[in-house]
Amino acid sequence: MRKRLVFAVAAIVVAIGAGFAIKAGKGSAAMPASAAMAAQAPDAAASEVPLDFTPNEAAKPLQVALPQVVEFSGPLVAPNTAIVRSKATGTLLALNVQEGQRVKAGESLGRIDVSELQSKVAERAANLASVKTTLAQAQRTHDSNIGLANDKFISPIALENSKSSLESARAQVAAAEATLDSARIALRDASLISPINGIVSKKYVVAGEKVTAEQQVVTIVDLHMLELAGTVGTQEVGRLSTGMPVTLKIEGLDKPIDGKLARIAPAAEAGTRSIGVVVQLQNPKEAMRAGQYAVAQVQIGDATPRLTVPISAISSASGQEYVWTVENGKLLRRTVTTGRRDPVRNRAEVLDGLTADAPVLGARFDNLREGAKARVVAVATAATPKPLPTVTTTR
């Protein structure tokens, strides 16, 4: 038993010694903390290699004129639109047009049962004939009384009474003629007639329905001229004037359409500080339809050269805009204030924060560090970073 205990203690001592030996071996091969940090840090020599940018990637700002573009949008409308309404109450006997059908001014669109109106016309015509008979009798009586008064057979008062009866009969004839004309007009207006040349846009009733006075029957649209009604800010309207050319991009059409600024509202809309403008465009082939969405652009000339950079060169962080420049062999981040922008030319005006001789990175690059060495070279090299892909944003 004692021998077993001695052997166990000896085994434990040997194991502890082996552990110290292994730990000592690991310690001799371990890397100091400073050396480990140095291994993880970029190579000092590599950090001295400058970033190379080509002239297409880093170019000096340009002095160019930037025409301003005032943009507004909205649906197209047809100003020459007519709503045909029923002028009488009755049953719609027939409606001879369909939606999309072309009609001409004066063309009959349908018929309404006008039996009641025809009866009124006949009644008032008979009434007119009656009062005309009364007028003729009053005229004969008065003419006779004039002769009798001259011969002193009747008194002047009797003559005045016959004159009054004659004037009353004339008034009754005039009133009867007016009521007959009114009935005839109502009968004529009961006919559904197209007031303009155009296309039937919508039907509101069908044959057999009972219609009332002023009820909508059909809408007719003339597409030969369309309008776009939009709004612009009060700060922009001062640059606009009627007659200015306008370019319109219309959904469904590949090519832009030319129009002109027709009207500008005299006052701003309450609460919005925006002013209404109307663009007219001719549509002789009726390729466009009312309701299509359109974006209008009015280009305003600019005769002043402005310091500009590519729009893609401008980035934003924490509400501030900035650009990257290459100055004195180093990358510098410059906070700038921008002005006008021309999306067509991809140029943005820089009002402050940039000089005209500092090359500006025209694209966005990843992991740029202010103060890093950089230079502009004729052709790309291995040290030329790759720009980030352009992201298209929709306003």
CATH number at residue 271: 2.40.30.170
pLDDT at 311: 92
Residues 292, 228: one domain?
A: yes
Cβ neighbors of 79 (< 8 A, separation 6 or more) are 225, 226, 227
The answer to whether position 42 is within a domain reads no
Cα(307)–Cα(314) distance, integer angstroms? 14
Cα(305)–Cα(63) distance, integer angstroms? 5
Tokens describing residue 143 = 């003419």
Residues 184, 229: one domain?
A: no
CB–CB of 308/59 below 8 Å? no
Name the domain boundary from 243, 270, 300. 300
Q: Please tell me what DSSP assigns to residue 313.
A: G
Cβ neighbors of 81 (< 8 A, separation 6 or more) are 198, 201, 219, 220, 221, 222, 290
The total number of residues shown for the chain amounts to 395
Name the domain boundary from 300, 334, 360. 300
The answer to whether position 352 is within a domain reads yes
pLDDT at 382: 65
- Host domain of residue 286: 73-79+223-300
pLDDT at 48: 60
Say which CATH number the domain at 326 has. 2.40.420.20
Cα(297)–Cα(69) distance, integer angstroms? 6
The total of structural domains in the chain comes to: 3
Name the domain boundary from 273, 300, 327. 300
Q: Nearest Cα to 73, choosing from 379, 271, 294, 348? A: 294
Residues 284, 314: one domain?
A: no
Residues 337, 274: one domain?
A: no
Residues 290, 334: one domain?
A: no
**DSSP states of 242-302 as a string?**
TT-EEEEEETT-SS-EEEEEEEE-SSPPTTT-EEEEEEEEE-TT--S-TT-EEEEEEEE--
The answer to whether position 277 is within a domain reads yes
- The stretches in the chain having pLDDT less than 50 are 1-46, 392-395
- pLDDT tens, 297-353? 998 877 788 899 999 999 998 889 999 999 999 999 999 999 888 877 888 999 999
The answer to whether position 61 is within a domain reads yes
Say which CATH number the domain at 119 has. 1.10.287
Residues 309, 274: one domain?
A: no
The answer to whether position 335 is within a domain reads yes
The answer to whether position 126 is within a domain reads yes
∠ CA(27), CA(33), CA(34), 5° rounding?
130
The answer to whether position 92 is within a domain reads no
The answer to whether position 194 is within a domain reads no
Residues 292, 308: one domain?
A: no
Cα(257)–Cα(291) distance, integer angstroms? 16
pLDDT at 70: 87
pLDDT at 390: 59
- pLDDT tens, 131-155? 999 899 889 888 888 888 787 787 8
